[in-house]
Homo-oligomer: A and B are copies of this chain.
Amino acid sequence: MIMTNEAKTGDDLTMPVASMIDVAIIEDERDIRECLTFLISGTEGYSCTGSYRSMEEALDKIEHQLPNIVLSDIGLPGMDGIAGIRILKERYPDLLILMLTVYDDDERIFDAMCAGASGYLLKKTPPAKLLESLKEAVGGGAPMSPEVARRVITLFREIRPPERADYQLTPHETRLLKLFVEGHIYKTAAVELGVSVNTVNFHVRNIYEKLQVHTRSEAVAKALVNRLV
């Protein structure tokens, strides 16, 4: 790993930070693993609780001395990093995981985040920033390399559910539609709203007209797909 640039110092985070940050490392390349181990062991306030070359090894031995946070590569022999962190999070839900990898493609970023990673750094990250990111993650943040943060936001924009379509539903219509989405039928919705079934009927016809549908199911589908409620 090429060490470049000066280290950052962290800002104050609201979550209490453990006085000692215990880190486990999962990295298949020996020289990188050793380098990381040296960096973490040699920095005040940090300790290295384990240093593994595979996810299998980590899963096998990590419980002997559970860290606050795992620093894991994605490309590993055998089980890959993402599959591994799913299992880690399953076994130790409070365990924090920070990815440290060369991969910066959307899919891996996405999968890692969804699998439970708290942060995602690229391997070119300078040592000082790496240490700071560990601290930030332990403090409740979600450190990402600039390129990763950019991709996350781009993905965000792409994934974003469509803006709420505006069908000009009145407050009562929206409320009734919401009840339908929740599984109510005319009768129970009427009870819930404190009105008669005839009133529900009235609103229903307006809703169906505005949404251009003819059944409650269609209205429910449209409400969910278009995020109307």
Q: A interface vs B, CB < 8 Å?
A: 4-14, 110, 113-114, 118-119, 125-126, 129, 132, 136, 139-144, 146-147, 149-150, 152-153, 155-157, 159-161, 180-183, 185, 213-218, 220-221, 224-225
In the bound complex, CA of A142 to CA of B9 (Å): 19
Residue of A5, A132, A216, A221 ringed by the most chain B CB atoms within 10 A: A221
Q: Which of B146, B160, B180 contacts A217 (CB 8 A)?
A: B180
In the bound complex, CA of A150 to CA of B157 (Å): 17
| A126 B11 Cβ-Cβ under 8 A | yes
B residues less than 8 Å from A143 (CB atoms)? 146, 149
**Smallest CB separation, A136 vs chain B (Å):** 5
B residues less than 8 Å from A13 (CB atoms)? 146
| B153 A118 Cβ-Cβ under 8 A | yes
**Smallest CB separation, A91 vs chain B (Å):** 19
A142 and B136 in contact (CB under 8 A), knowing A8-B8, A114-B160, A221-B181? no
Q: Which of B119, B142, B157, B220 contacts A220 (CB 8 A)?
A: B220
B residues less than 8 Å from A119 (CB atoms)? 149
Q: Which of B113, B156, B157, B183 contacts A215 (CB 8 A)?
A: B183
Q: Which of B114, B125, B153 contacts A113 (CB 8 A)?
A: B153
A152 and B156 in contact (CB under 8 A), knowing A143-B146, A183-B213, A183-B215? yes
In the bound complex, CA of A113 to CA of B149 (Å): 11
In the bound complex, CA of A157 to CA of B110 (Å): 9
In the bound complex, CA of A126 to CA of B8 (Å): 13
Q: Could you list some 24 contacts between A and B, CB below 8 A?
A: A4-B11, A5-B12, A8-B9, A13-B146, A110-B160, A114-B157, A118-B153, A119-B149, A139-B146, A140-B147, A140-B150, A141-B147, A141-B150, A142-B152, A143-B146, A144-B149, A152-B156, A156-B156, A183-B221, A185-B217, A216-B216, A217-B217, A220-B220, A221-B224
Top 8 A-B residue pairs of the complex, sorted by shortest distance between their CB atoms: A141-B146, A8-B8, A142-B149, A5-B11, A142-B150, A183-B218, A224-B224, A217-B220
